[in-house]
Amino acid sequence: MTQSARTGPRLPILNFASSEAAAALSRDVAAIGFGNRIESGANWLRSAASAPRRGCVVLVGCDPARGPDQAEILRRLDARPWVCVLATREKLDARGLMRAATEFIEAPWSHAELAIRFERFADRIGAAQRQLDETRAGMEIVGDAPAFRDALATAQKFAASHAPVFVEGETGTGKELFARLIHRLGARQQRPFVPVNCGCLPRELVENELFGHEAGAFTGAARAALGLVHQAEGGTLFLDEVDALPLRAQVALLRFLQEREVRPVGAGRLRKVDVRVIAASNRPLATLVEAGTFREDLYFRLNVLTLALPPLRQRRCDIADLARHFLDRLAADYARPAMWLSDPARDWLMAQNLPGNVRQLENLLHRAVLKAAGARIELADIAPPGTPVPPPAPPEGIEPFAKAKARAVTVFERRYLTGLMQDAGGNVTAAAERAGKERRALGRLLKKHGIGPHWTRPDDRLG
């Protein structure tokens, strides 16, 4: 295949140089098979709504006096990968961009050099996207709304770090699920993930539960016990409802985050622990700090990286896909044929605010499946008694053919594979024979959709 015949990803070019230089780069990038569009870097920086850019090319001019604040570019752009093009390597290095560029191309460039660099760049982007897609499928993470995809991209970026992460979002938005996603995408994925609901810990035993105790530390402590922090050694400790910790436990947690050491109850010495901490709260911690119920220094220690999860009302376009996902899983759980929503039931569901978010949506559908007389869920099965039939939902426009086809194929594959595995009693070899597929190919499809002999894992569900 020639370079010009290659179809690469579409990459925006953020132009901080001259329009002539940007046009020349755009032509050359297009010539080697990569779609692109030029955006004004200055306008992008001025836009309050400008999102971090993960896959983009940054064209920077060689005159520092005329260029923008490079620190601001670095702050607003995602961490790697991105390509930076500059007139001279020396000026790039002097302006602080060299260390952040995944690929650096020095002007004047050749088509051959561009092709090599962009091939590597595209491979890196593609590998990261495949890893995210495979992990999403295995964890049954459903959603394509822009706000949700931004959260996924941020989680993937944070996974490359070992710094503490604070996940904020309303109840039912998937805070633990995203904590697990960060863990599985990171270097600690083979080590334990230990979730802790701080709101369920007895106030007088919080330190004992987190840090453990020595034998004889208190009445009834016949033998030493490891705390939850030690159980997460080398892995990730997820502290849900961290705002529920009493002030004394907050002090102990702060000391652990600062020193990476813990002292079990009754112990005479500190012990080193290697654990990444991800915390979450339904309530804004900044407000609790102002009220004096949460320590400010602990807030800053936990809030090194912040991941904000959108409520379902901000990703309403995902409701239909989530409903399909839950209905497929519930039908499999109860060994029932594929179920679907009637038009009035679907329209009513799409109109709800659902303050409990994804968890509330799943509960509504669970109840509806149990109430439904057949495979179709009617309005009376899901809505409160006496709910009038709503007007049909307004059309949202026609999707591009490729996207509509991909969505239909995904739905078909999931329904087919779920029924196939049920029929085969969870035996992959038998399922492959019945489907007329090679076992390894079927295994890849099952992995893609997170389906297997015991594919329903409560700990990996949204909520």
DSSP 267-287: -SS-EE---EEEEEESS-HHH
The yes-or-no answer to whether 3-128 and 314-460 have a common fold is no
- pLDDT score recorded for residue 107: 72
Tell me what the mean pLDDT of segment 239-253 comes to. 91
Domain 144-310 falls under CATH 1.10.10.10: no
Residue type at position 28:
D
Maximum mean pLDDT: which of 21-30, 105-114, 243-252, 401-410: 243-252
Is 60 exceeded by the pLDDT of residue 8?
no
Contacts of 167 (CB under 8 A, 6+ apart): 175, 178, 179, 278, 279, 280, 307, 309
Structure tokens of 120?
């590597």
- pLDDT score recorded for residue 355: 92
Q: Give the distance, in angstroms, between the CA of residue 318 and the centroid of all CA atoms in the same chain.
A: 15
Pick the CATH number of 314-460 from 3.40.50.410, 1.10.490.10, 1.10.1580.10, 1.10.8.60: 1.10.8.60
Instruction: Classify domain 3-128 at the CATH topology level.
Output: Rossmann fold (3.40.50)
- Categorize the per-residue pLDDT at 265 as very low, low, confident or very high, splitting at 50, 70 and 90: low
Q: What is the pLDDT of residues 76-101, one digit of tens each?
A: 665 444 666 665 566 555 455 555 56
Domain residue spans in the chain? 3-128, 144-310, 314-460
Tell me what the mean pLDDT of segment 62-72 comes to. 52
